[in-house]
Structure 1
Amino acid sequence: MKILRTNSENTDFINLVKQLDAYLKITDGDEHAFYNQFNHIDVLKNVVVFYLDNLAIGCGAIKKFDSSSMEIKRMFVAKEQRNKGIAQKIVTELEVWTKELGYKKCVLETGKRQVEAVKFYHKCGYKVIPNYGQYADMENSVCFEKAL
């Protein structure tokens, strides 16, 4: 297995994000169009792709949120590869990269309907915070942060 630091032009990342979007279209339902407008990958300069036997099976990204924080975006692990610690390795790599870039914390948003994701971020030490920015009035959103 290996973790590659790259950017949003990486073909494997693009293909994984397509799988993520297909999943979110189902779980977000009528709200998918709202959330999707904030998920353009062309703005992501710091991308991680996780490979197992040279096959891309997971990804995540960070982007500047404010002067002290990076926002975790586009976290995904292929369904058949879940519950094997891969997401934890991706988040850890994103947190390390965040610190290397001089930022002090990570923030993120996920949907309440993504029950596994909510549990996962709690397990990783993320704390629920008030919904920020575009998610402030979204009933389905839950926002998190973690000081690094």
Structure 2
Amino acid sequence: MPELEIHTLTKENEAIARAIILEGFLERFGFIDHSFNPDLKDLVNSYTKDGCVFFTGAHHGDIVCTGALQKETNETVRIARMSVKKEWRQRGFAKIMIKHLEQKAKQSGYKNIVLETNRSWESAICFYKKVGYQIEHIDESQCHFYKKI
């Protein structure tokens, strides 16, 4: 496994985390519509609310990935903002981050994790299946997953 240091998001690294997410959107969609993602304007405040936490993963000091947890119910948490910089993909960083998120969710007493991804993002869908998530349903734009922990 590659070395990855995972830390809670700070104001000092917020711009880097935002850039990683936005670069992923630009790559996947070919454009960025900021109106769809109001949480990105202020990640620190958006992810310090009840039951929310945002993490960055750094490899040798460079932030290469992100991931967050958002409380849905007392038993269910949502994984959000999973992103790995393009040049750092296929090295195991997403797997390390998602395992970290699952561990934090379990430590917080959650029983279920949900997440969603764009239904055309085949690599993301394959990844989530590979790490044990099951498809709950697919709608016109999203693939919705769940996992019991």
**TM-score, reference length from structure 1:** 0.81
Q: Which amino acid aligns with 1:113?
A: S
Question: In the alignment, what sits opposite 1:44?
Answer: 47
RMSD over equivalenced CA pairs, Å: 2.4
User: Do the aligned partners of residues 115 and 145 (structure 1) sit closer, same or farther apart at CA in structure 2, a change above 3 Å counting?
Assistant: same
Asked whether 1:58 is paired with 2:59, we answer no
Moved over 4 A (4+): 29-35, 37-40
How far is 1:97 from its partner? 0.2
SS at match of 2:79: strand
How far is 1:24 from its partner? 1.4
List gaps (5 residues or longer) in structure 2: none
List gaps (5 residues or longer) in structure 1: 132-137
**TM-score, reference length from structure 2:** 0.81
User: Do the aligned partners of residues 56 and 26 (structure 1) sit closer, same or farther apart at CA in structure 2, a change above 3 Å counting?
Assistant: closer
Q: Where does 1:6-85 land on structure 2 (aligned, <5 Å)? A: 6-7=8-9, 9-28=10-29, 32=33, 35-37=36-38, 41=43, 42-45=45-48, 46-85=53-92
Contact 2:119–2:125 (8 Å) recurs in 1: yes
Q: Which moved more, 1:15-24 or 1:102-111?
A: 15-24
How far is 1:26 from its partner? 4.9
How far is 1:47 from its partner? 1.8
How far is 1:39 from its partner? 5.8
How far is 1:22 from its partner? 3.3
Q: Which amino acid aligns with 2:7?
A: R
